[in-house]
Structure 1
Amino acid sequence: MASILQILLMLLSVAQMIIIIHIILSWLINFQVLNLRQPIVASIWDGLNRLLEPAYSRIRQFMPDLGGIDLAPLVALLIVYALRIILINNAAMFI
Protein backbone atom coordinates (compact mmCIF):
# COMPACT_ATOMS: atom_id res chain seq x y z
CA MET A 1 0.00 0.00 0.00
CA ALA A 2 2.93 2.33 0.55
CA SER A 3 3.71 2.08 -3.13
CA ILE A 4 0.24 3.49 -3.94
CA LEU A 5 1.05 6.52 -1.81
CA GLN A 6 4.37 6.98 -3.59
CA ILE A 7 2.71 6.69 -7.00
CA LEU A 8 0.06 9.26 -6.05
CA LEU A 9 2.71 11.64 -4.74
CA MET A 10 4.73 11.18 -7.94
CA LEU A 11 1.66 11.97 -10.07
CA LEU A 12 1.02 15.11 -8.03
CA SER A 13 4.65 16.14 -8.50
CA VAL A 14 4.34 15.69 -12.26
CA ALA A 15 1.11 17.74 -12.28
CA GLN A 16 2.83 20.42 -10.22
CA MET A 17 5.75 20.63 -12.65
CA ILE A 18 3.45 20.76 -15.68
CA ILE A 19 1.48 23.65 -14.18
CA ILE A 20 4.67 25.53 -13.27
CA ILE A 21 6.07 25.02 -16.79
CA HIS A 22 2.79 26.30 -18.25
CA ILE A 23 2.90 29.40 -16.05
CA ILE A 24 6.52 30.18 -16.94
CA LEU A 25 5.91 29.56 -20.64
CA SER A 26 2.90 31.89 -20.61
CA TRP A 27 5.03 34.62 -19.04
CA LEU A 28 7.77 34.14 -21.62
CA ILE A 29 5.23 34.32 -24.45
CA ASN A 30 3.45 37.37 -23.02
CA PHE A 31 6.74 39.25 -22.51
CA GLN A 32 7.76 38.25 -26.06
CA VAL A 33 10.83 36.33 -25.01
CA LEU A 34 9.39 33.36 -26.90
CA ASN A 35 7.37 33.56 -30.08
CA LEU A 36 4.45 31.30 -30.99
CA ARG A 37 5.57 31.40 -34.63
CA GLN A 38 8.42 29.09 -33.69
CA PRO A 39 7.15 25.54 -34.34
CA ILE A 40 8.58 23.94 -31.19
CA VAL A 41 7.22 26.68 -28.93
CA ALA A 42 3.82 26.52 -30.62
CA SER A 43 3.61 22.74 -30.28
CA ILE A 44 4.63 22.77 -26.61
CA TRP A 45 2.18 25.60 -25.88
CA ASP A 46 -0.63 23.82 -27.71
CA GLY A 47 0.06 20.55 -25.91
CA LEU A 48 0.12 22.18 -22.49
CA ASN A 49 -3.08 24.08 -23.23
CA ARG A 50 -4.85 20.93 -24.36
CA LEU A 51 -3.69 19.15 -21.23
CA LEU A 52 -4.51 21.85 -18.69
CA GLU A 53 -7.46 23.74 -20.19
CA PRO A 54 -10.15 21.24 -19.01
CA ALA A 55 -9.01 21.69 -15.40
CA TYR A 56 -8.61 25.46 -15.78
CA SER A 57 -12.07 25.87 -17.30
CA ARG A 58 -13.68 24.09 -14.35
CA ILE A 59 -11.79 26.32 -11.93
CA ARG A 60 -12.75 29.46 -13.88
CA GLN A 61 -16.43 28.60 -13.46
CA PHE A 62 -16.14 29.26 -9.73
CA MET A 63 -13.84 32.30 -9.86
CA PRO A 64 -14.97 35.90 -10.25
CA ASP A 65 -14.07 37.79 -13.41
CA LEU A 66 -10.86 39.73 -12.72
CA GLY A 67 -10.49 41.25 -16.15
CA GLY A 68 -7.22 40.22 -17.76
CA ILE A 69 -5.88 38.35 -14.75
CA ASP A 70 -6.21 34.57 -14.87
CA LEU A 71 -5.76 33.00 -11.46
CA ALA A 72 -6.86 29.50 -12.53
CA PRO A 73 -3.26 28.18 -12.74
CA LEU A 74 -2.56 29.46 -9.24
CA VAL A 75 -5.70 27.82 -7.88
CA ALA A 76 -4.82 24.58 -9.68
CA LEU A 77 -1.35 24.67 -8.14
CA LEU A 78 -2.83 25.27 -4.69
CA ILE A 79 -5.19 22.32 -5.19
CA VAL A 80 -2.22 20.09 -6.08
CA TYR A 81 -0.36 21.27 -2.97
CA ALA A 82 -3.45 20.67 -0.81
CA LEU A 83 -3.88 17.14 -2.17
CA ARG A 84 -0.21 16.46 -1.51
CA ILE A 85 -0.55 17.64 2.11
CA ILE A 86 -3.68 15.53 2.60
CA LEU A 87 -1.92 12.43 1.28
CA ILE A 88 1.17 12.98 3.41
CA ASN A 89 -0.85 13.62 6.56
CA ASN A 90 -2.86 10.45 5.97
CA ALA A 91 0.12 8.29 5.02
CA ALA A 92 -0.54 5.96 7.93
CA MET A 93 -3.68 4.83 6.14
CA PHE A 94 -1.55 3.49 3.27
CA ILE A 95 0.88 1.51 5.44
Structure 2
Amino acid sequence: MTTVVVLVYHMLSALWLLILVHLVMGLLLRVRVLNYERPSVRGAWNGLSGMLDPLYRPLRRVLPGHGRVDLAPVATLFFVLGVQAMFLLAGAARLL
Protein backbone atom coordinates (compact mmCIF):
# COMPACT_ATOMS: atom_id res chain seq x y z
CA MET A 1 0.00 0.00 0.00
CA THR A 2 2.79 2.45 0.80
CA THR A 3 4.29 1.84 -2.64
CA VAL A 4 1.05 3.01 -4.24
CA VAL A 5 0.96 6.08 -2.00
CA VAL A 6 4.55 6.97 -2.91
CA LEU A 7 3.86 6.41 -6.62
CA VAL A 8 0.77 8.66 -6.57
CA TYR A 9 2.67 11.26 -4.55
CA HIS A 10 5.44 11.40 -7.16
CA MET A 11 2.94 11.53 -10.02
CA LEU A 12 1.25 14.48 -8.32
CA SER A 13 4.68 16.12 -7.92
CA ALA A 14 5.26 15.79 -11.67
CA LEU A 15 1.79 17.22 -12.35
CA TRP A 16 2.52 20.12 -9.98
CA LEU A 17 5.74 20.84 -11.87
CA LEU A 18 3.94 20.77 -15.25
CA ILE A 19 1.27 23.18 -13.96
CA LEU A 20 3.95 25.51 -12.59
CA VAL A 21 5.84 25.48 -15.91
CA HIS A 22 2.57 26.17 -17.77
CA LEU A 23 1.74 29.04 -15.42
CA VAL A 24 5.18 30.67 -15.74
CA MET A 25 5.23 30.13 -19.50
CA GLY A 26 1.81 31.78 -19.79
CA LEU A 27 3.05 34.80 -17.86
CA LEU A 28 6.17 35.05 -20.01
CA LEU A 29 4.07 34.84 -23.16
CA ARG A 30 1.72 37.53 -21.87
CA VAL A 31 4.53 40.03 -21.19
CA ARG A 32 6.18 39.10 -24.50
CA VAL A 33 9.38 37.65 -23.07
CA LEU A 34 8.67 34.47 -25.02
CA ASN A 35 7.67 34.71 -28.66
CA TYR A 36 4.74 32.46 -29.63
CA GLU A 37 5.84 32.59 -33.27
CA ARG A 38 8.89 30.42 -32.51
CA PRO A 39 8.09 26.78 -33.32
CA SER A 40 9.67 25.44 -30.13
CA VAL A 41 7.69 27.82 -27.91
CA ARG A 42 4.48 27.14 -29.82
CA GLY A 43 5.01 23.37 -29.59
CA ALA A 44 5.75 23.47 -25.86
CA TRP A 45 2.77 25.74 -25.18
CA ASN A 46 0.35 23.67 -27.26
CA GLY A 47 1.61 20.44 -25.69
CA LEU A 48 1.24 21.71 -22.14
CA SER A 49 -2.13 23.28 -22.89
CA GLY A 50 -3.38 20.07 -24.46
CA MET A 51 -2.41 18.10 -21.36
CA LEU A 52 -3.59 20.57 -18.73
CA ASP A 53 -6.71 22.19 -20.23
CA PRO A 54 -8.91 19.19 -19.31
CA LEU A 55 -7.90 19.81 -15.68
CA TYR A 56 -8.59 23.54 -15.94
CA ARG A 57 -11.93 23.30 -17.76
CA PRO A 58 -14.15 22.43 -14.74
CA LEU A 59 -12.55 25.19 -12.68
CA ARG A 60 -12.99 27.75 -15.45
CA ARG A 61 -16.74 27.07 -15.35
CA VAL A 62 -16.85 27.70 -11.59
CA LEU A 63 -14.34 30.54 -11.18
CA PRO A 64 -15.44 34.00 -12.26
CA GLY A 65 -13.69 35.58 -15.22
CA HIS A 66 -11.21 38.32 -14.37
CA GLY A 67 -10.54 39.67 -17.82
CA ARG A 68 -7.14 38.51 -19.01
CA VAL A 69 -6.17 36.78 -15.75
CA ASP A 70 -6.86 33.04 -15.64
CA LEU A 71 -7.13 31.74 -12.09
CA ALA A 72 -7.73 28.10 -13.06
CA PRO A 73 -4.01 27.12 -13.12
CA VAL A 74 -3.45 28.64 -9.68
CA ALA A 75 -6.53 26.91 -8.25
CA THR A 76 -5.45 23.62 -9.83
CA LEU A 77 -1.98 24.07 -8.36
CA PHE A 78 -3.41 24.50 -4.85
CA PHE A 79 -5.77 21.55 -5.37
CA VAL A 80 -2.88 19.29 -6.41
CA LEU A 81 -0.88 20.45 -3.38
CA GLY A 82 -3.83 19.59 -1.11
CA VAL A 83 -4.25 16.13 -2.60
CA GLN A 84 -0.51 15.60 -2.38
CA ALA A 85 -0.57 16.54 1.32
CA MET A 86 -3.38 14.04 1.91
CA PHE A 87 -1.34 11.28 0.27
CA LEU A 88 1.68 12.29 2.33
CA LEU A 89 -0.37 12.09 5.52
CA ALA A 90 -1.83 8.74 4.45
CA GLY A 91 1.66 7.39 3.85
CA ALA A 92 2.92 8.73 7.19
CA ALA A 93 -0.08 7.28 9.04
CA ARG A 94 0.54 3.93 7.38
CA LEU A 95 4.12 3.88 8.66
CA LEU A 96 3.11 4.54 12.28
Give the TM-score, by structure 2 length. Answer: 0.91
**Equivalent residue number for residue 16 of structure 1:** 16
| Superposition RMSD in Å | 1.5
1:76 paired to 2:66:
no
4+ residue stretches of structure 1 with deviation over 6 A? none
Matches within 5 A, 1:21-32: 21-32=21-32
Name the SS of the counterpart of 1:90 in structure 2.
Answer: helix
Structure 2 residues not aligned, in runs of 5+: none
Which runs of 5 or more structure 1 residues have no equivalent in the other structure?
A: none
- The alpha-carbon deviation at position 90 of structure 1 amounts to 1.7
Q: How many residues align?
A: 95
Q: C-alpha separation between the residues in 2 aligned to 1:5 and 1:46?
A: 31
Q: TM-score, normalised by structure 1?
A: 0.92
CA distance in structure 2 between the aligned counterparts of 1:55 and 1:10, rounded to whole angstroms: 18
Conserved 8 A contact 1:19-1:77: yes
Amino acid at match of 1:12: L
